[in-house]
Amino acid sequence: MSSNYPSLFRSEEMSLVQLYIPSEVAHDTISELAEMGNFQFKDLNPSLTTFQRSFTPRLRALAESSRRLRLFRTQITSLSPPLGITPLSAVPPFTTVGPRAQNAYDELEGKLKEHERRLADMNRSWEELGKRKSELEEKRWVLRETAGFFNEAEHRHTEIRTSFDDGDGTAPLLEHAAEYGTLPGETGLSGFDLEFVSGTIERSRMPTFERILWRVLRGNLYMNYSEIEEPFVDPTSGKETHKDVFIIFAHGSDLLAKIRKVAESMGGTLYNIDSSQDKRSDALREVTARLEDVDTVLYNMGQTRRVELSKIAEMLEAWTDAVRREEEIFKTLNLLSYDQGRKTLVAEGWCPTRDITAIQLGLRRAMDTAGTSVPAILSELRTHQTPPTFHRTNKFTEGFQTLIDSYGIATYQEVNPGLYAVITFPFLFAVMFGDIGHGILMFMTAAAMIFWEKPIAKGGVNENLETFFFGRYLIVLMGIFSIYTGAMYNDIFSKTLHLFQSGWEWPSNSTGLVTAESTGHVYPFGMDPLWHGADNALIFNNSYKMKMSIILGVIHMTFAICLQVPNHLHFKKYMNIYAEFIPQMIFFHSIFGYLVICIIYKWSIDWAQSATGPPGLLNMLIYMFLSPGNVDPSVQLYRGQAFVQTLLLLLALVCVPWMLALKPYLLWKEHSKIKAQGYQGLNGQENGRHSTSEPLEEEEEEVGMAVAESTDDEHPFEMGDIIVHQVIHTIEFCLGCISNTASYLRLWALSLAHAQLSEVLWSMTLDLAFESESGIVVRGLFLFVMFAMWFGGTVGILCVMEGLSAFLHALRLHWVEANGKHYMAGGYPFMPLSFATLGNEED
Amino acid sequence: MSSFFHVVLVGIIIAAMGAVGWFVLPKGKSQTLLRSSLLLTLTCCYLMWAITYLAQLHPIISPRRSDLRAEY
């Protein structure tokens, strides 16, 4: 296919190309090539480690920059209220090429460093202030909560007093006590001669803390605690911790010291507070005032930080993009070999032959941007290395090609089954999924995805739905074909359409078991609707769908075997045509081709008028092997059947040694001919590489050129290997014919299951509602609920789950049954350097 | 009326459609894709139809049911 246009039929013709790039344009040339995205660079210094390569220091600096950018990004995204990052399209472009690019990058590096320093400063003081703030807050809580304890204690104290002084019955004393109870000094102490420790501790540690204290102090303490409702947020990590305020009364400085120690070792914070209420309220006031100050400072600082970050956010995308590009460029430059003396870089790599002109133009463009007058020079190399496989896909074909690629990357220039999968895949899927209704649902969904393609792609898709979105064109075709096969099966949500004159009619006025009478017509398009609901519909459908799967399977596999031919012709292995293709075809068709012809022949005979009854084709095939040459006249399909079958069987038998022996023999003969001519030892030279740029090679052997030569693998002629390979291949094919044909019966099984399932769903939901005989309101409600269930089941079970299952089976039929017949899949993918795919890899 | 002949006739029509389509389809990047898709679509749909039609051409069994109501 040397057409003017690229096609999916074969992978693109590739060329191994060498570029001589003067070092001053190197950067811009690589950038231009990555912009075009059709050049795959080869590593010309495979022996060098990363550290030995020339541009590693630069790369490290870039990595540092990209680390800074990531840091900024996390800080920006964690801001609340969120700060929008200006999209790339709205930012003035960053100079990534041209003579000023280097300066721009250096400036950027400085700028990033400066920003980082400023941010780090701010973050540090922010953190410190945050810590101060939380300390103050804790203290405030301690003051507030302990006030509660004290008040309670005091209250109790006065009560005791009252009971003591009850006899006096003097109110002033009571008032006095209440008044002086709060005073510092004598009254306070006389009220609580216990001393205390107060502070905060994490809530989870509270029980342990309590237990330890109890043990340490042997119960000589009075402890009180209360929970702080608000969690404390750590300013740096953002982690929330819940804390409790505790106050412990104990007697004696020893015990107090012990409590302090225990509290500190458990991670608690102690706050000194005074037992007098005045001092405490003073302290509270002071703390509140300080807290306010800290808050103001924090707020201001937050604002400054926000401004700083918003400045960064404006340019963040542009910078990230620029740094990413630069990194990619230098990674690529590291792959090139460097000629010190001539100040040129040598690049080598694959590109589509079709694109060489475009690349040459690109090289000139790069020269212009770099502002020099020496462009990079491109020279094409001739090589025996296998080029990478490159299929030019578009948004329509890419989904189909992915299905095939996930089985294996096509060998270079091999016939690509992806081209045919565009139709055969949705078709085989639809054979299993045939239902007009379900097909329409599927089609509509995919059509909507295609219609709103751009907004959906722009808005980003949920990860689970992304797969469906990626396969939207596949799904749309699957839907269309399902509608067609549904029309063939005459199934619409398990119901039927009656569009043409039926071939049957029910006899009038008869009840009980009725048999339809033929009207002499054949329903012209699809399955006769009269079969729907008939008691023996399943028997008829089984026979029809089973035969259909065999016929479709045999045709699909024949097609797959035939795809070998263009391969053999293209790779000039004509021997394979008569040593493999022809015997395979004969073998396959003498058994299964014959079966298909028998099926069709049997359909074309009107058995009502025939003397013999209709024969069972399955038995016919079995007895063709078991007792060749004998056909029972009562089940004879046609005259001379015994002879034909014996002949076919013999043909198939002959094919086995034909496939087995011919190819190894021919290879051996060819080899011994070469040997006889005395070329054996020179095999290597004979296949040697002749470079178009041989004089160059002599001049600079160390540069690049040598690499093209080095990966030179010569297989010695091994008769044993060839024979073993051929034996395996033959056995695989012969057994595969049988098992693969049987494998197509999944078309029957799945389509039957699909039809049955949708019928069951209908009868278990909507049918019940239609037949219910209650009042109109109840019926309406019942219908509504049942419809919801039916629709949910239709979408969830029949469309999604059954769809997935049919999808997998169709995929298997393509991978195993069809691809196994012709697809070598021994290639490796073409992975050009491209800025366009950069972002995707990162995410 | 209905016979094997119909299947052949429709087959010829489909083949003609394929042939016309082969030449009518515009040259361009996707010509190969369009041609192969057209031919495969026609083949698949024709096969499916032909099989369904043939299966009903000379039916060996007739539909039977026991739940018919008298007025039907």
Encode A177-191 in three state secondary structure.
HHHHCCCCCHHHHHH
User: How confident is the model at residue A183, as a pLDDT?
Assistant: 39
| Closest chain B residue to the Cα of A517, Cα to Cα | B62
Chain B residues with CB-CB distance to A603 below 8 A: 54-55, 57-58
Tokens of A324: 């990413």
The number of helices, as runs of H, and strands, as runs of E, in chain A is 32, 14
Instruction: Return the closest-CA partner of residue A654 out of A644, A665, A662.
Output: A662
Angle between helix A802-812 and helix A436-451 axes, rounded to 10 deg:
90
Task: Read off the pLDDT of each residue in A232-252 and give the average, rounded to a whole number.
Answer: 77
Confidence label for A122 from pLDDT (cuts 50, 70 and 90)? confident
Q: What is the count of residue pairs from A and B with beta carbons less than 8 Å apart?
A: 142
Residue A521: CB partners within 8 Å, gap ≥ 6? Answer: A501, A502, A503, B1, B2
Cβ distance A326 to A105 under 8 Å? yes
- A419/B64 touch (CB, cutoff 8 Å), yes or no: no
Residues A63-85: pLDDT tens digits?
999 999 998 888 888 877 777 77
Residues A306-338: pLDDT tens digits?
888 888 888 888 888 888 888 999 999 888 888
The fraction of chain B above a pLDDT of 70, given in percent, is 92
Confidence label for B46 from pLDDT (cuts 50, 70 and 90)? very high
Task: Read off the pLDDT of each residue in A464-468 and give the average, rounded to a whole number.
Answer: 86
For residue B45, give how far its alpha carbon lies from the nearest alpha carbon of chain A (Å).
8
Q: What is the 3-state secondary structure of A636-703?
A: CCCCCHHHHHHHHHHHHHHHHHHHHHHHHHHHHHHHHHHHHCCCHHHHHHHCCCCCCCHHHHHHCCCC
User: How confident is the model at residue A99, as a pLDDT?
Assistant: 78
Bridge partners, A196 (sequence order): A249
> CA A423 to CA A511: how far, in whole Å?
47
Quick check: A55 pLDDT over 50?
Answer: yes
A618 C-beta neighbours (distance < 10 Å), count = 10
Task: Tell whether B70 is within 8 A of chain A (Cβ).
Answer: yes
Instruction: Return the closest-CA partner of residue A250 out of A306, A295, A194.
Output: A194
> CA A42 to CA B42: how far, in whole Å?
45
CATH of A127-288, one of 2.60.120.650, 3.30.70.2750, 3.40.50.10860, 3.40.50.720: 3.30.70.2750
Cβ distance A336 to A113 under 8 Å? no
User: How confident is the model at residue A547, as a pLDDT?
Assistant: 95
- What does the radius of gyration of chain A's CA atoms come to, in whole angstroms? 43
Mutate to test the interface with A, among B38, B39, B54, B69 (most CBs of A within 10 A): B54
- Write the DSSP symbol of residue A195: E
Confidence label for A45 from pLDDT (cuts 50, 70 and 90)? confident
For A326, A465, A652, the CA distances from A801, given in Å and listed in that order, are 46, 15, 41
Amino acid of residue A650:
L
> CA A166 to CA A246: how far, in whole Å?
34
Q: CA angle, A717 as apex, A711 and A720 as ends, to 5°?
A: 125
Task: Tell whether A816 is within 8 A of chain B (Cβ).
Answer: no
- A424/B40 touch (CB, cutoff 8 Å), yes or no: yes
User: How confident is the model at residue A699, as a pLDDT?
Assistant: 41
Quick check: A139 pLDDT over 90?
Answer: no
Question: Rounded to 5 degrees, what are φ and ψ at A505?
Answer: -145, 150
Please tell me the pTM assigned to this model: 0.80
Quick check: A839 pLDDT over 60?
Answer: no
Residues A393-441: pLDDT tens digits?
888 999 999 999 999 999 999 999 999 999 999 999 999 999 999 999 9
Residue A462: CB partners within 8 Å, gap ≥ 6? Answer: none
> CA A130 to CA A110: how far, in whole Å?
30
| Per-residue b or e along A305-322, where b marks 16 or more CB atoms closer than 10 Å to that residue's CB | beebbeebbbbbbbbbbb
User: How confident is the model at residue A16, as a pLDDT?
Assistant: 93
Cβ distance A347 to A335 under 8 Å? yes
Residue A78: CB partners within 8 Å, gap ≥ 6? Answer: A238
Mutate to test the interface with B, among A419, A433, A522, A610 (most CBs of B within 10 A): A522
Tokens of A84: 């929008």
Confidence label for A144 from pLDDT (cuts 50, 70 and 90)? confident
Quick check: A210 pLDDT over 60?
Answer: yes
Alpha-helical runs (H) found in A434-524: 436-451, 453-459, 463-470, 472-489
> CA A836 to CA A504: how far, in whole Å?
62
Q: Which of A23-27, A198-202, A275-279, A447-451 comes out lowest in average pLDDT? A: A275-279
Quick check: A692 pLDDT over 60?
Answer: no
Residue A663: CB partners within 8 Å, gap ≥ 6? Answer: A575, A576, A579, A580, A722, A726
Residue B61: CB partners within 8 Å, gap ≥ 6? Answer: A536, A539, A540
Quick check: A354 pLDDT over 70?
Answer: yes
Amino acid of residue A520:
G
Question: Rounded to 5 degrees, what are φ and ψ at A90?
Answer: -95, 0
User: How confident is the model at residue A702, as a pLDDT?
Assistant: 42
Q: Which of A96-110, A474-488, A721-735, A800-814 comes out lowest in average pLDDT? A: A96-110
Contacts of A47-55 with CB under 8 Å at 24 or more apart are: A50/A334, A53/A334, A54/A333, A54/A334, A54/A338, A55/A330, A55/A333, A55/A334
Q: Strand, helix or coil at B39?
A: helix
> CA A279 to CA A277: how far, in whole Å?
5
User: How confident is the model at residue A412, as a pLDDT?
Assistant: 92
- A516/B37 touch (CB, cutoff 8 Å), yes or no: no
Residues spanned by CATH 3.30.70.2750 within chain A? 127-288
User: How confident is the model at residue A235, as a pLDDT?
Assistant: 63
Q: Which of A270-284, A458-472, A778-792 comes out lowest in average pLDDT? A: A270-284
Name the E strands within B1-72: 64-65
Question: Rounded to 5 degrees, what are φ and ψ at A237?
Answer: -90, -15
Question: Rounded to 5 degrees, what are φ and ψ at A222?
Answer: -125, 120
A703 C-beta neighbours (distance < 10 Å), count = 21
- Highest mean pLDDT, choosing among A33-37, A193-197, A564-568, A638-642: A564-568
- A423/B63 touch (CB, cutoff 8 Å), yes or no: no
Task: Tell whether A525 is within 8 A of chain B (Cβ).
Answer: yes
Confidence label for A193 from pLDDT (cuts 50, 70 and 90)? low
Compute CA B28 distance to the chain's CA centroid, rounded to the nearest angstrom.
29
Quick check: A265 pLDDT over 80?
Answer: yes
Taking only residues 7 to 46 of chain B, the set having a beta carbon closer than 8 angstroms to any beta carbon of chain A reads 27-33, 36-37, 40-41, 44-45
Q: Strand, helix or coil at A386?
A: coil
Reported ipTM:
0.95
> CA A429 to CA A477: how far, in whole Å?
10
The bridge status of strand A14-22 relative to strand A377-381 is antiparallel
> CA A359 to CA A401: how far, in whole Å?
26
Bridge partners, A495 (sequence order): A492
Tokens of A242: 């819940």
